[in-house]
């Protein structure tokens, strides 16, 4: 089941069709963004230091301001508790840099827990990959970047992109994978161990497919999910 979580940052409204049939959560002032689009969340979560006060409508979970997790992370836990396994985080980047980093950490955490997860902002979309492959359709255009989401990402292979790689080790303190580009062919990003952040421009590109490791037995998919 899909879970759409809305924070207070900016995002493009073109992806709001993803809320159809999804479990929709507002994280604090994300409630205001949803209301501006005429949408109501099934649940609102937060300490409400940004919104000012809990909303009067719908299910609301209030948390103290002094807490260990962000409102977005608390909302994701509620989605997990309700059986969601695909997460779209809206309004979680482009504002405060510390919250952007926190939401990238949340993206990786959800991926390692066996979920598909996306962080959608005004300029593009992040996802995380923890084994296996991402397959992008030949119609995709614009730039694509990959970064190690830990100290090392091993066996990274980039196929049918402007700058290919084969069985490469990406490290967290060198941005070798930034600003690659689609070239009108079906592109694949694969890795054997570690994790990657993958970012692509939001130019109406189809979403990638998640594929398991190949049947040659190389590596192991830590999430147990094949994305199909």
Q: What are the DSSP calls for 120-152, one per residue?
A: E-SSEEEEEESSEEEEE-TT--SEEEEEESSSE
pTM: 0.85
Indicate if 153 and 114 belong to the same structural domain.
Answer: no
| DSSP letter assigned to residue 193 | B
Q: Where among 122, 151, 174 does a domain terminate?
A: 122
Q: Where among 66, 100, 122 does a domain terminate?
A: 122
Task: Answer yes or no: is 227 within a domain.
Answer: no
Task: Answer yes or no: is 105 within a domain.
Answer: yes
Indicate if 11 and 105 belong to the same structural domain.
Answer: yes
Radius of gyration, CA atoms only, the chain: 18
- On the question of pLDDT at 35 being above 70, the answer is yes
- The separation between CA 18 and the C-alpha centre of its own chain, rounded to angstroms, equals 14
Number of domains making up the chain: 2
Where is 178: in which H helix or E strand? none
Indicate if 80 and 141 belong to the same structural domain.
Answer: no
Confidence grade of residue 214 (pLDDT, cut at 50, 70, 90): low
Indicate if 145 and 192 belong to the same structural domain.
Answer: yes
Q: Where among 122, 150, 171 does a domain terminate?
A: 122
CATH at residue 106: 3.40.50.10240
Q: Which of 45, 47, 124 is nearest to 77 (CA)?
A: 45
Indicate if 117 and 158 belong to the same structural domain.
Answer: no
- What the block records as the tokens of 192 is 């054997």
User: For 110-165, how does the pLDDT look when each residue is reduced to its tens digit (9 = 90+)?
Assistant: 999 999 999 988 888 999 999 899 999 999 999 999 999 999 999 999 999 999 99
* Per-residue pLDDT at 69: 79
């Amino acid at each position: 089941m899909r879970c759409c979580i809305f924070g207070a940052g900016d995002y493009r409204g073109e992806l709001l069709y993803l809320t159809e049939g999804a479990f929709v959560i507002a994280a604090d002032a994300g409630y205001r963004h949803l209301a501006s689009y005429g949408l109501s969340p099934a649940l609102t979560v937060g300490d409400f230091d940004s919104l000012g006060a809990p909303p009067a409508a719908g299910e609301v979970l209030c948390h103290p301001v002094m807490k260990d997790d962000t409102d977005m992370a608390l909302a994701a836990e509620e989605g997990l508790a309700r059986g969601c396994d695909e997460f779209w985080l809206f309004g979680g980047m482009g504002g405060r840099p510390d919250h952007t980093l926190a939401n990238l950490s949340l993206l990786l955490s959800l991926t390692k827990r066996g979920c598909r997860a996306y962080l959608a902002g005004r300029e593009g979309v992040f996802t995380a990959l923890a084994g296996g492959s991402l397959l992008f359709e030949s119609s995709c255009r614009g730039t694509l970047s990959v970064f190690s989401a830990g100290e090392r990402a091993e066996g990274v292979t980039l196929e049918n992109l402007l700058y290919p790689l084969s069985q490469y080790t990406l490290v967290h303190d060198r941005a070798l994978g930034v600003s690659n580009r689609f070239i009108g062919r079906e592109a694949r990003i694969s890795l054997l161990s570690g994790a990657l952040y993958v970012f692509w421009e939001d130019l109406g590109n189809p979403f990638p497919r998640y594929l398991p490791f190949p049947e040659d037995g190389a590596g192991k998919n830590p999430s147990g999910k094949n994305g199909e």
